[in-house]
Structure formats: C-alpha cells, structure tokens
Amino acid sequence: MEWETVIGLEVHVQLATKSKIFSGSSTAFGAEPNTQANAVDLAMPGTLPVPNEQALRYAIMFGLAIDAEINQRSIFDRKNYFYPDSPKGYQTTQMDEPIVGPGIVEVQMPNGDSKSIRIHHAHLEEDAGKSLHEDFHGSTGIDLNRAGTPLIEIVSEPDMRTSEEAVEFAKKLHAIVTSLGISDGHMSQGSMRFDVNVSVRPKGQGEYGTRTETKNLNSFKFMEEAIALEVERQIDVLEDGGSIYQETRLYNGETKVARSMRSKEEANDYRYFPCPDLLPIIIDSPYIEAIRSSLPELPDTRRSRFVDKYRLSSYDASILSSDKSTAEYFETVFNVCKDAKLAANWVMGELTAKLNSESLSIHESPISADNLGKLIERIIDHTISGKIAKQVFESIWNGEGNADVVIEAKGLKQVSDSSELESMVEDVMSKNPDQVANYHNADDVKRKKMIGFFVGQIMKVSKGQANPGMVNKILMQKLKD
Amino acid sequence: MHNKTLAELSKGLASGDFSSSELTKHYIGRIKQLDPTFNSFISVTEEQALAQATAADSRIASGNTTPLTGIPIAHKDIFCTAGVKTSCGSKMLDNFIPPYDATVVEKFNQSGVVSLGKTNMDEFAMGSSNESSFYGIVKNPWSLNCVPGGSSGGSAAAVAAQLAPASTGTDTGGSIRQPAALCGITGLKPTYGRVSRYGMIAFASSLDQAGPMTRTAEDAAMMLNIMAGVDEKDSTSMDQPTPDYTEQLNNDLTGLRIGIPKEYFGEGLTPAIEQAVQSAIKEYQSLGAIVKEISLPNTALAVPCYYIIAPSEASANLSRFDGVRYGYRCEDPEDLLDLYTRTREEGFGDEVKRRILIGTYALSAGFYDAYYKKAQQIRRLIKNDFVAAFEDVDVIMGPTVPNTAFEIGEKSNDPVSMYLEDIYTIPTNLAGLPGMSIPAGIIEGKPAGLQLIGNYFDEGRLLNVAHKFQQATDWHLQTPASQIKRVER
Amino acid sequence: MSIEKSDIEKIASLARIRVDQSAVPEIANRINDILKMVDSMQAVDTADIEPMANPLDAVQRLRVDLVTERNQREAFQAIAPQVEQGLYLVPKVIE
C-alpha cells in the first residue's frame, strides 16, 4: 500500500527580551543556576505576574510577518500540571484567546516549488526551568533561570506531507523570527524547539490517521530524523495489522532512538482557566499599525530583492535571505567583490560547508564577510585562481590573516609575467618532445585534448600559480611555431 | 492606653503623652498576659517591634512622621514579612520565612508603623471560624466558647481584646467583615483592586482583598490611607485616585439614599440581628438619610457561585506548595510523585484539601462549562444586580452575618452550613465592591454587625456613613471588658 | 451532579494529594453536599451572559522590558528544603 504522511508542527520560540515575560529577572543564557530566578519566577507565595510589553510586541511582529490576524483582545490562561521545572504548578499561557490568529507561511522547496503552510494561531507563554538529570546521589537538580523566559508557540495546521517540507517550514520560521530580531534563533541554546505531530494514512484517504507527538526537538536534523523514524514505525505497525495510539514520544538525537513518554490514557487534564492574576490585554489598531510600520525587511521581501538585484535563482535567493545574518553576510561580501554569482557560490558552498562541519553559525564565522569579499576580489583580478583561493580560504579560516596577507606570505600570487610563463612553457615542451611531435601530427579534436596535458604540466610546475588564461595563449603560440 | 483609638494614640504620640516604645511595650505586655487564652497571634515579634518603636520615636522627635508613625498594629499571617515567619495558618508554611515584604507591610513599615506580630487565621484563609488554623482555634473575646469568625479571626480577636489597636485582614468571601461582626469591631473590605495583593498569599485571586480591622471608622480611614493605591507589582491593582479618607468622615448624611435589599432579610436571619439592623437604619433616617427597599435578585446564587470560583482559583494558587523550593516537605520521599502527594497530604489541613479537590473537579475536562464557566456567568448577573441598584442608591445596608458568634465545634462538621455564614458578605466579593461591617448591637452578650456596601472605589463615602453612625451611637465603644477582666485574673 | 469514589481518586491524583482509601467515602460525601448546594446554578439560563473573570472588567497594564531583579539566590535557597550547587533537588525525575 502507498502511504501518505501528514505532519503538523508546534514551534516554541524564545523571544529576545532582556527580562522575563512576567518578572524583571534577566533572560541571559548561561548564568549560574538559579541566579536569575527571583521571587516571581520561584513562585514564592503572594508574588504576582506583570507582563512584559516587549514580549507582546514581538508576538505581534511575528503575527504581522505571517499576515495573521492580530487579536485586539487576548487573555492569559493557567495550564495546570505538576513538574519540578514548573514552579507555580501551572504554566501561564494562552488558550482560547491567543494574541495571533490564523496566518500563512510560504515555503520554498529545493526543487523550486513553493508551498503554503497555514498557521492555526500563535500564542504567548512562559518557558519552564530545566531539570538536570546528572547524578546528585539519585536526585535531579532544578535550575529555574529559564523559567519565565517569554516564548511564542506557533501552531501549524497539518499541512506538511514530507519531512523535507517540515524542515523547510521550520527553517522558514527560523528565517522570519531572526529577520524580525524577535529571537536570537540559537538552536543549540534551545531558542527554538519543535514538537512534531505525525500521522500516516493510505494515499487517497480523506480522514487523518491517529497522530503521535514527538516533543522537544532542538535541531532541523533531529526533526528530520525523528519524523522519518516515526513514519517508518507507524507504517510498520499498520502493515502488521496493528494500530497507532495517540501518545507523546521522545526522540534521542544521540542514540537515534525514539520511545513513548506517555499515552493518552495517562494524558494530563490541564484544567485550563483564565489566569485571575492577569487581565485581558486590549490593544487598538493604531498600536498594531505602529508596529507594522516599523517591521524590518522580511525574508520573502528580501528573497525577491535578491532575485531582482543579484539575478540569483529563487532557491539560492531563499537560502541566502533565510536569516538576517546570512543575508547581511552575503550582501557585505557582494559589496566588496561586486560579483553576486561568486559571492553566492562562496557563501552557500565553501563557507556553509565549513561552518556546518564545525557546527558554527554564520555570526561565529572565523572569516568575516569583508575578508571573504576581498578573497573573491583577488580571484576576479586574477591575483589568484579559484583553486588557490580555496587554499587561501583555509588559511584565513585558521587565523593566518586576510587574503592579501596569506597570498603574500605564502607566495601564492598568480604568475602573470609573460617572460616567466614563456620559460615555463618552453621548459615543459622541451621535457616532452614526444607529446609536442604528437600534437603537431594530430587533428583539431585531438589537439584540444592534448592542450589540457600541457596546461596540467605547467600548473604542476608553477604549483598552481600560473595564470591559466595566459598559459593557454602562450602555449598555443609556442605550439604553432 | 489600650482603650484608645488610633486617632487618640496618634495625638498622644504627637503631644508626647507617651512614646512609641512605651506603647509597644504596653501592648506586648498585654499579648503576653492575655493571648495564651485567646490565641489570636501566631507570632509575636517583640524584638523587632521594640526596634521599630525606637526608630519611630526618633522619627517623632525629628518631626518626620505620618499620622500612624509609632503606633503598633498586627498583621494577618497571610501577609509576607521579610525575616518573620509567614505561615498562612498552615503546617505547609510553618517553617516559611520570606525574604520579602508584602506591599501592604512595606507601606506600613515606611510609615513608621510598628508590627507587634502575625495574627492567627483559618488555614490559607479558608474558613469562617478560625477553626481550620494549624495553630489552634482562636477564642472570641466576648464569649470564650465561641468562635471569633474567620478567616481573619486572629486579627478581629486581637483588636476586640485590645491586644492591638488595629490590624490588617483579608477578605475573600467575608473574611474581614464576618469576624469584625462577630468580635464587635469595624472592618472594611475595599473595592477589589484598591489595595495591592502583592505578597499577600493568594486564596482566590479575583476575590481577595486586604483591608483594615479597627475599633472605629475613623481608624479604618487612617489605615486605608496607608494601604490604598496602585502597585506596579500587582496587575489587578487599580490606578484610581486615593483621597485622604479622613477628610470626608464628617460629611452630612442629609439626603443619603440607603438601599435595603429585601433578599438580605429572608429565612435564616436571626430576628434579633434583624432588629439591630432595623434600629441602625432608623438611626440613619434620623441623620437625614432616605431609605429605599431594593432587590438584588440573584443573591441566593452567590454562595453556590462563590464555592466554585474560589476553590477553582485556589486549586491552582495552592499548586506551588509542592515541597520543592520552600515550606514543608515530607520525610524521605520515595520518588517525585511521593514527594508531591505526601507533602500536600501532610502539609494541608482537611478544609484546604477539600477545597482544592472541589476546584480541581470543577475545572476538570467535561465539567468546566457546567461549573466554572457557569459560575463566572452568574458572577456577572450578581454584579449587574448591584450596578442596577447603585443607580438609585448611594449605599446598601443589611446584616453582615445571619447569626452572632457560634460555638466552637458547632459547624465544623458541616461545611455547607459554615459556608452559609457568608451569604451576605460573598456577593460583595463577587461584584468586587467595597463592604464594611460596623458594630450595631449586642445580643445576649455577643456583638451584631451592620454591613454597609458602597459603589466601586467609594470607600470614602462608606467610611463617612460609618463614622456618622459611630458619632451618634456607642456600639463601637463596647468592649468585652468583663470577659477580659476574667482572663486577667 | 454527584461525585463517585473513582472521581475522588482521579481528582486527588490531578491535585497531587495523597488520599487514604478509608477516607474516600467521607470526602465524597462532603464534596457531594457541596455540589448539591452548588447545583442551584444549573437552573439559571446564562446563555447570553459573558463570563466575568475579573470584577472590574479592567485591562492589563504592561511593564517596560527592563532587568530590575538582582541575584538573591542565597536568600531564597536558605529557606529551601534541599539544595546543592545552587540547584533545587528533587527525587530523580524519570521522563
């Protein structure tokens, strides 16, 4: 039987506010445990929440970016459950009346197709603390620094049919929130986490199959793996005549294993009700319009600009426009070297590969955009060849200085001096008299192939530094003689 | 000294008749002597009180005073006090010493008011008799075998027994007014949002409100002057003007329109209390007020509505008491679930557990609409009754409680009859209106209360109406003197 | 509406309160008394009535995004049941 996968995402995005959503504690990452957890965050008796306006503005910015309805009245609810990282015994969240209503996210696929994913709503809520399961003599340690960090939870409709679509959608959300500057988007620090709802159904069937939810995936890669694994599991179960149970699952990205966390029968009854410590948030159209008019450039706008201005393909443009730092990096490279094609190839190729292999994000790149631009400039002005440029790139990456410094220090400058090249050509010809004779006896087709042999030899002698254009010209000249 | 009102003590301190230290020592002495009988205090902070009194005396000497500088009062043990145990009447918080002050406490401290200690209360303010306190029952100074009312029973008894000239209380369904009525003192529950709830341990967040418990309306005005005002730490505190409540006290009552809700005089009201209330109303007529009968048709729904909303909110508010960050933790928990369930079983008393369970039930899947949502809708009907009534009247009057103080143990096995104690006080909390109880009679040696209900943020008028009555009568000056004498011996 | 013994167990488990088996009937009776009293609400037609969460129907004030709190870990953890290396300790949590 042919199966169709149905995927919906719930995405938690930490907002880049200075202070927490309901208290004046810092949200900075990486502090000593519980040094950023104060009376309100610790749920000390009698303490009360006061909402952070910036968190609200950030949520509205997201809503505007996906063309969603912004609800002029929204309320906070309490979601009741006991867990040590949830100090109040409930999470303050939004249930029936969220700040952001339905919206749409356009996703570009690598094959050039685009796909619309509907957003059901997005709401504001507080993050939980962290449980540290390292051994404290059989105990778990609780750090509440993260408790109360503002989040938006973005809930999609089940509009994705493949893990690739889910990943592209997730990347698009990442692009939107980082472009807006409402989140730092640091996945490794948990700034963006995904819950994935997956079901399968026989192709052509109208109704959805039973879905499972795999929680708390914190990388695109893990998300892709978890979906693939879950789809495979569900199909196996169904093809063996079994049934899928609604359950919450956990995927371990290290061991590549998923397991059930709790089934529906044990599912919590969260007893949502409006938080009586908070009042309805009422905003008017001028408030929303003021935010709209100050929105920074969005990825989609930037993508069309990249296509128009730099003549990039739609997919290349979407990759380069995805997050603000990548886009800014690319544009800086272009401004230095003035060649969009080369700039795009270097950023998406060499740079991205190197960053990925060292798990760095672009703002952590050891090569500044300025330096990469200068390196490309040296290719354009024939100071070095593209091949040598890769070697120079490595050196710049390793901190040996900028392109000019490395080229100078290592003597990698392309040889364009005609007398020097002439002597190299003559040298190669005199060492290969048979090939020269063969050349003279060959027809045009064969001759073209044989030119390659001579160029290769010359490049070898020059350690790749000979100007290939000039070598060709001189070689043709000399062989004619 | 202990027979004086706050207003008189303020004058005495200003004119140097006595110092704050002398006054504080005097009250500490009385507490030590008499409170073993009444049990109105959970903690007496003698050392801190004397230090505050010394500081107040220097403030007085330098002329940097407020009207209450140097006067000792008592705080209900629901208000967090930095460095002083704040138990909320519960074993759960028997070891809890908060590192912060409630906004109300902070305001009194800044005004140079001395704190004598923390008063006894029903556990987590859930009760109308003070019998649910982990720290034992409080005895009504008028009749030692009777309850003082609750939940601010310790605060009421302490003022009635003159162990403190005034105290703070909180009122979720009548917890200031009912004990004030049963102990023969003046108690004011302000408009919801008038006084900050920050640092006041929450029972039902949309109903809780702090207020003063005093001997006179004038004293309540002086206390409210300190307590009232918006607090940036409490989103539900309202940014409304805070007048000097003592300035309006003597306004003439001629033409004042008093509404008498017929629903407050039905079945269940003790005839003698009805008589006391009727005589008070006559007194108001002689002061120039106009009396109208009004109807608050949804009154009978108030207690059912309240017993869904308050436990529901409480069930979530009390989830933070989990044995992880502060407070009681059970011995040797086997696992996390055991830590939670045993800590909460052992740390909470029966009434608190009962209300948590009711609230959990009312909010649980499948019941929300029938209980919680329904109650919130009825809450609006109750509010609308008052809004309509206040189009025709300036103040509403009736009994505070259907009975005088009942005997200890009389209702402790019958929660529903205990809940009906608050039938006249609960509607005010649901509507968020200010309400007051003032002494209006003595029935078989026990006080009866007159309840005054005002419009939103109209505490000034309530205090004025109460004060004029107290100028014309002397019920508020009655004390359980003979009882106290007996205890002194 | 009335509550069964099994309901008591369920809500006690949701509320994380251990209830002794022997106490369940008594708790059920008491809660049923209260539910009986509360049932008078069901007779009221509230179809068009907007639920009221806050008595003043007031609007939320918002706070400026500023860090106003300083580290007070020592003071807060001085009153904690069990802490180590700045962490609150609980029995091992198995997810």
Query: Would the CB atoms of C68 and A133 count as touching at under 8 Å?
Result: no
List chain A residues with CB under 8 Å of B201. 45-46
3-class state of residue B435 by DSSP? strand
Query: Would the CB atoms of C86 and A35 count as touching at under 8 Å?
Result: yes
Query: Are the beta carbons of B395 and B462 closer than 8 angstroms?
Result: yes
Of the candidates B249, B299, B291, the residue with the CA atom closest to the CA atom of residue B402: B299
Tokens of A295: 């929105």
> CA-based angle C51:C57:C62, to the nearest 5?
120
User: What's the confidence (pLDDT) of residue B35?
Assistant: 97
Query: Are the beta carbons of B304 and C39 closer than 8 angstroms?
Result: yes
Of the candidates B108, B151, B148, B145, the residue with the CA atom closest to the CA atom of residue B128: B151
Least confident piece of the model among A174-178, A333-337, A459-463, B57-61: A459-463
- Kindly state the average pLDDT of the residues A174-189: 93
pLDDT surpassing 80 at residue A423: yes
Query: Are the beta carbons of A246 and A211 closer than 8 angstroms?
Result: yes
List, in sequence order, every residue forming a beta bridge with B211; answer none if it has no partner: B169
List chain B residues with CB under 8 Å of C9. none
Query: Are the beta carbons of A104 and A118 closer than 8 angstroms?
Result: yes
List, in sequence order, every residue forming a beta bridge with A92; answer none if it has no partner: A78
User: What's the confidence (pLDDT) of residue A84?
Assistant: 95
Q: Which residues contact A165 (CB under 8 A, 6 or more apart)?
A: A7, A107, A109, A115, A117
List chain C residues with CB under 8 Å of B232. 61, 63
Residue of A nearest to C85 (CA): A33
User: What's the confidence (pLDDT) of residue A481?
Assistant: 67
> CA-based angle C35:C38:C44, to the nearest 5?
135
Residue B50 belongs to some domain of the structure: yes
Residue B457 Cα, gap to closest chain A Cα (Å): 18
Query: What kind and span of H or E run contains A193?
Result: strand A192-202
Percentage of chain B exceeding pLDDT 70: 100
Least confident piece of the model among A114-128, A461-475, B335-349: A461-475
> The domain containing residue B54 runs over which residues?
6-258+390-488
Q: Which residues contact A244 (CB under 8 A, 6 or more apart)?
A: A199, A200, A209, A210, A211, A212, A234, A237, A238
3-class state of residue A479 by DSSP? helix
pLDDT tens digits, one per residue of A330-344: 999 999 999 999 999
List chain A residues with CB under 8 Å of C73. 32, 34-35, 37
List chain B residues with CB under 8 Å of A140. 336
Question: CA B355, CA B352: separation in Å to the nearest integer?
Answer: 5
Cβ-nearest to A45 among B80, B235, B365 = B80
Q: pLDDT band at residue A462, thresholds of 50, 70 and 90?
A: confident
Tokens of B141: 């100074």
Question: CA B101, CA B395: separation in Å to the nearest integer?
Answer: 35
Compute the radius of gyration of chain B from its Cα atoms.
21
H helices of A119-219, in order, are: 163-180
Query: Are the beta carbons of B81 and B102 closer than 8 angstroms?
Result: yes
H helices of B184-301, in order, are: 217-227, 271-286
3-class state of residue B467 by DSSP? helix
Question: CA B371, CA B308: separation in Å to the nearest integer?
Answer: 7
Residue C71: how many other CB atoms lie within 10 Å: 16
Query: Would the CB atoms of B235 and A278 count as touching at under 8 Å?
Result: yes
Residue type, C15: A
pLDDT tens digits, one per residue of B423-474: 999 999 999 999 999 999 999 999 999 999 999 999 999 999 999 999 999 9
Cβ-nearest to C34 among B329, B358, B378 = B358
Residue A333 Cα, gap to closest chain C Cα (Å): 35
> Interface partners of C (3+ CB pairs, < 8 Å)?
A, B
Query: Would the CB atoms of C95 and A250 count as touching at under 8 Å?
Result: yes
Least confident piece of the model among A463-467, B11-15, B193-197: A463-467
How many beta-carbon pairs below 8 A join chains A and B? 101
Query: Are the beta carbons of B189 and B435 closer than 8 angstroms?
Result: yes
Query: Would the CB atoms of A44 and B98 count as touching at under 8 Å?
Result: yes
Query: Would the CB atoms of C88 and A56 count as touching at under 8 Å?
Result: no
User: What's the confidence (pLDDT) of residue C95?
Assistant: 64
User: What's the confidence (pLDDT) of residue A264?
Assistant: 52
Exposed, middle or buried: residue A125 (CB in 10 Å: 0-12, 13-18, 19+)?
buried
Residue C28 Cα, gap to closest chain B Cα (Å): 10
pLDDT tens digits, one per residue of B168-215: 999 999 999 999 999 999 999 999 999 999 999 999 999 999 999 999
User: What's the confidence (pLDDT) of residue A361?
Assistant: 85
Is B90 one of the catalytic residues?
A: no
The CA–CA distances, whole Å, from A71 to A40, A64, A100, C21 equal 27, 11, 6, 48
Question: CA B397, CA B385: separation in Å to the nearest integer?
Answer: 15
Cα B42 → chain centroid? 16
Q: Helix A314-321 and helix A324-337: axis angle, to 10°? A: 110
> CA-based angle A363:A147:C76, to the nearest 5?
120
List chain B residues with CB under 8 Å of C14. 360, 364
Residue of C nearest to B239 (CA): C61
Of the candidates B366, B327, B323, B325, the residue with the CA atom closest to the CA atom of residue B343: B323
Residue B264 belongs to some domain of the structure: no
- Choosing from B21, B43, B143, B175, the catalytic residue is B175
Probe site for chain A from C88, C90, C93, C94 (most A CB atoms < 10 A): C88
Of the candidates A196, A184, A166, the residue with the CA atom closest to the CA atom of residue A29: A184
Residue B452 belongs to some domain of the structure: yes
- Kindly state the average pLDDT of the residues A287-314: 93
List chain C residues with CB under 8 Å of A276. 53-54
Query: Would the CB atoms of A281 and C60 count as touching at under 8 Å?
Result: yes
| Torsion of the alpha carbons at A357, A361, A364 and A366, rounded to the nearest 10 | 40
A102: phi then psi, degrees, rounded to nearest 5:
-60, 145
Q: pLDDT band at residue B38, thresholds of 50, 70 and 90?
A: very high
Cβ-nearest to A19 among C53, C67, C91 = C67
Residue of B nearest to A43 (CA): B320
Q: pLDDT band at residue A268, thresholds of 50, 70 and 90?
A: confident
> CA-based angle A45:A49:A51, to the nearest 5?
170
Q: pLDDT band at residue A451, thresholds of 50, 70 and 90?
A: confident
Cα A239 → chain centroid? 35
Question: CA B409, CA B139: separation in Å to the nearest integer?
Answer: 12
- Kindly state the average pLDDT of the residues A86-108: 97
Q: Which residues contact C82 (CB under 8 A, 6 or more apart)?
A: A139, B329, C88, C89, C90
Cβ-nearest to B102 among A46, A89, A140 = A46
Least confident piece of the model among A303-312, B156-165, B274-283, B305-314: A303-312
Query: Are the beta carbons of B394 and B455 closer than 8 angstroms?
Result: yes
Long-range pairs, A23-30, Cβ under 8 A, ≥24:
A23/A49, A23/A50, A23/A148, A23/C69, A24/C63, A24/C66, A24/C67, A24/C68, A24/C69, A25/A148, A25/C67, A25/C69, A26/C67, A26/C69, A27/A149, A27/A150, A29/A186, A29/A189, A30/A189
Residue C86 Cα, gap to closest chain A Cα (Å): 6
Q: Render A406-462 in DSSP notation, one character per residue.
A: HHHHHT---B--HHHHHHHHHHHHHH-HHHHHHHHHS-HHHHHHHHHHHHHHHHHHT
Percentage of chain A exceeding pLDDT 90: 71
pLDDT surpassing 90 at residue A164: yes
Domains located in chain A, CATH noted = 3-290 (no CATH), 297-410 (no CATH), 418-480 (1.10.10.410)
Residue of C nearest to A268 (CA): C14
Residue A48 Cα, gap to closest chain B Cα (Å): 6
Residue B249 belongs to some domain of the structure: yes
Q: Is C64 on the interface with A (CB under 8 A)?
A: yes
Residue of C nearest to B323 (CA): C81
Residue B268 belongs to some domain of the structure: no
Question: CA B88, CA A211: separation in Å to the nearest integer?
Answer: 46
Please state, rounded to an integer, the average pLDDT across all residues of chain B: 96
Percentage of chain B exceeding pLDDT 90: 95
Count of domains for chain B: 1
Q: Is B203 on the interface with A (CB under 8 A)?
A: no
Residue B80 belongs to some domain of the structure: yes
- Choosing from B129, B143, B151, B152, the catalytic residue is B151
Q: Is A78 on the interface with B (CB under 8 A)?
A: yes
Question: CA C26, CA C31: separation in Å to the nearest integer?
Answer: 9
pLDDT surpassing 90 at residue A240: yes
Q: Is B79 on the interface with A (CB under 8 A)?
A: yes
Cβ-nearest to A276 among C53, C59, C64 = C53
Query: Would the CB atoms of C87 and A141 count as touching at under 8 Å?
Result: yes
List chain C residues with CB under 8 Å of A42. 76
Is B76 one of the catalytic residues?
A: yes
Query: Would the CB atoms of C31 and B432 count as touching at under 8 Å?
Result: no
Cβ-nearest to A280 among C60, C87, C88 = C60
Query: Are the beta carbons of B112 and B56 closer than 8 angstroms?
Result: yes
pLDDT surpassing 60 at residue A266: no
Cite the beta strand spans of C1-95 per DSSP E.
83-84, 87-91
pLDDT surpassing 70 at residue B267: yes
Question: CA B379, CA B385: separation in Å to the nearest integer?
Answer: 10
Question: CA B163, CA B155: separation in Å to the nearest integer?
Answer: 10
pLDDT surpassing 70 at residue C1: no
Exposed, middle or buried: residue B486 (CB in 10 Å: 0-12, 13-18, 19+)?
exposed
Output the pTM of the full model.
Answer: 0.90
Query: Would the CB atoms of B326 and C79 count as touching at under 8 Å?
Result: yes
Q: Which residues contact A242 (CB under 8 A, 6 or more apart)?
A: none
- Kindly state the average pLDDT of the residues B97-116: 98
Is B143 one of the catalytic residues?
A: no
Please state, rounded to an integer, the average pLDDT across all residues of chain C: 93
Least confident piece of the model among A198-202, A433-437, B405-409: A433-437
Q: Which residues contact A48 (CB under 8 A, 6 or more apart)?
A: A40, A277, B197, B198, B233, B234, B235, B236
Residue A387: how many other CB atoms lie within 10 Å: 12
